[in-house]
Amino acid sequence: MAYRAAIIGCGRMAHGHAHAFQEAGIPLVAGADISEQSLAKWKADFGNGQKLYTDMYQMLAETKPDLVAVVTPEQAHCAAVVAAAEAGAKGIICEKPLAMNLAETNLMIETCKRTGTVLTVSHQRHYTPQYEVARQRIEAGAIGQVLSCMAISQYMCLMTDACHTIHMMLDLMGWPKPTHLIGNIDGNSDYVYFGHRAEEGGTAYIGFEGGLFSHFTWGRCARNPDVRMFSAWDNALMNYQYIVVQGETGQIQVSGDYYEGLGPLGDRWLAREVHGDKAQVLPVVFPGPRGDITREVDDVIAAIETGKPHPLDAMTHGKTIMEILIAMYESSRRRGVVHFPVTVQDNPFLAMVDSGVFPK
């Protein structure tokens, strides 16, 4: 079947989505962005044959794309996903975080269920070679049954960056069902990221069915290059995130966001398997033969054509990630445990900023 694609939000990250459609051989027929300036740059970079609009509704109505990548800032994801689904898109790739709160998340999911649209959230590190190798070793039983996970994200904002680490933590653990969470956040600055107030960091304990658990720390405390919480960090490419999955018989350690631009690895490693005092570096071929987002697109097509569940499915995994990050904020607001399923409809962090708990 032939597909035609469009992008809503033609800024920095949209370049990755345009390259992915190109690599997948899917023509990019249209783009929409509220900024004339963004569209002018987009036209210079990718404009060949594309129709460009400042009104996404007009773009969707006139060009009727089969696939839509939503690459606006997160505050605009919900409106764009709902509009694309209502306009008949068969598949929508939405940038992370899926939404700003669970009310928006539920609306996006309900709409896409009703319209029969495949909806993914773009946690593309699922396809990044070191995480793929780590996941394959865990799935092959190399460390026995998974018991726990410890994850660190260097990034300061749960919504915008640390959500990738939550995704990867769950992805490596095999998507256990969260039962309860206790966490706290540091929002004591005027930090703004992607146009919304954001916290500087935090920490959380997450309990899962079957007695599994994880510890997650993100933000400023993990950014300091002098912090060496683990000796493994000395040689890990401690870039972006560091995750340790503990199993009955061993450990998988995985790290980094390695791009060729960062230079050769040298003695550093991206993924290791540890049994007792023996650590073995796992072979990682970087970059992979096909782009991460291209593989996300490939899997969208497979989901449309065969009904195969998408590994980045927004309705299942994406919703769980949103519940966890909202629970982290809610635990801070309540100063107590949050149980799942999470039903809080607002964004507790933004509500705490509004009510003066944290500075505006």
Ligand X SMILES: NC(=O)c1ccc[n+]([C@@H]2O[C@H](COP(=O)([O-])OP(=O)(O)OC[C@H]3O[C@@H](n4cnc5c(N)ncnc54)[C@H](O)[C@@H]3O)[C@@H](O)[C@H]2O)c1
Binding region for ligand X (CB under 6 A): 8-14, 32-35, 38, 56, 71-74, 76, 95-96, 122, 124, 160, 194
Buried-state track 224-237, b at ≥16 Cβ within 10 A, e below 16: eeeeeeeebbebbb
Residue of this chain nearest to ligand X (CB atom): 11
CA separation, residue 210 to residues 147, 160, 170, 179, 357 (Å) = 9, 30, 14, 10, 36
Return the number of the residue (12 or 308) whose C-beta is nearest ligand X: 12
SS3 assignment, position 10? coil
* Nearer residue to ligand X within complex by CB, 15 or 180: 15
Q: Which is nearer to ligand X, 45 or 209 (CB)?
A: 45
Return d(Cα 233, Cα 242) in angstroms, integer: 9
Shortest separation between residue 131's beta carbon and ligand X, angstroms: 13
- SS3 state of residue 38: helix
What span, in angstroms and rounded, lies between the C-alpha atoms of 182 and 153? 18
Residue with tokens 């009310």: 103
We find the least distance from the C-beta atom of residue 160 to ligand X, in angstroms, to be 5
Compute the least distance from the CB of residue 184 to ligand X, in Å.
23
**Of the two residues 146 and 152, which places its CB atom closer to ligand X in the complex?**
152
Query: Which CB sits closer to ligand X, 13 or 304?
Result: 13
Q: Which one, 59 or 146, has the nearer CB to ligand X?
A: 59
CB of 31 vs ligand X, minimal distance in Å: 9
Which residue from 240, 229, 230 is spatially nearest to 270, judged by alpha carbons? 240
Alpha carbons 325 and 315: distance in angstroms, whole number: 16
**Residue 360 beta carbon to ligand X: minimum distance, rounded to whole angstroms:** 21
User: Could you tell me the maximum CA-CA distance found in the chain, to the nearest angstrom?
Assistant: 62
Identify which of residues 125 and 272 has a Cβ nearer to ligand X in the complex: 125
* 248 close to 145: Cβ distance less than 8 angstroms: yes
- Nearest approach, Cβ of residue 124 and ligand X (Å): 6
Which lies closer to ligand X via its Cβ, residue 127 or residue 208?
127
CB of 218 to ligand X, least distance (A): 15
Shortest Å, Cβ 123 to ligand X = 7
Angle at CA of residue 301, ends 80 and 5, nearest 5°:
45
Place of tokens 């540890």: 274
Nearest Cα residue to 122 out of 328, 257, 317, 339: 317
Alpha-carbon distance 169 to 176, whole Å?
A: 10
